[in-house]
């Protein structure tokens, strides 16, 4: 069994100000709200290709250009 999980979150930032007699305090409130969370099941592929693009540095990439 092979699974892929996709999550979508919304980061909400809000500036609030609390006012009481003779003083006021401001702060930023942050909340992370989940919008979607889905798991897609599937079969394990018979062939896997690992391109390892992180190992290819920018200088080597420039050498490959025509």
Q: Which of the four pLDDT bands, split at 50, 70 and 90, describes residue 58?
A: low
Does 22 or 60 have the greater pLDDT score? 22
Sequence-separated (6 or more) residues with CB below 8 Å from residue 35: 8, 9, 10
- How many whole angstroms separate alpha carbon 12 and alpha carbon 39? 24
Q: What is the pLDDT of residue 15?
A: 96
Q: What is the pLDDT of residue 48?
A: 76
Domain count for the chain: 1
Its domain, for residue 52, covers 2-64
Q: Is the pLDDT of residue 44 over 70?
A: yes
Question: pTM higher than 0.85, yes or no?
Answer: no
């Amino acid at each position: 069994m092979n699974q892929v999980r996709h999550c979508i979150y919304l980061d909400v930032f809000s500036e609030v100000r609390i006012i009481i007699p003779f003083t006021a305090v401001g702060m930023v409130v942050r909340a992370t709200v989940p919008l979607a969370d889905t798991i897609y099941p599937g079969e394990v592929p018979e062939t896997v290709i690992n391109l390892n693009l992180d190992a290819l540095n920018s200088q080597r990439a420039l050498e490959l250009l025509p």
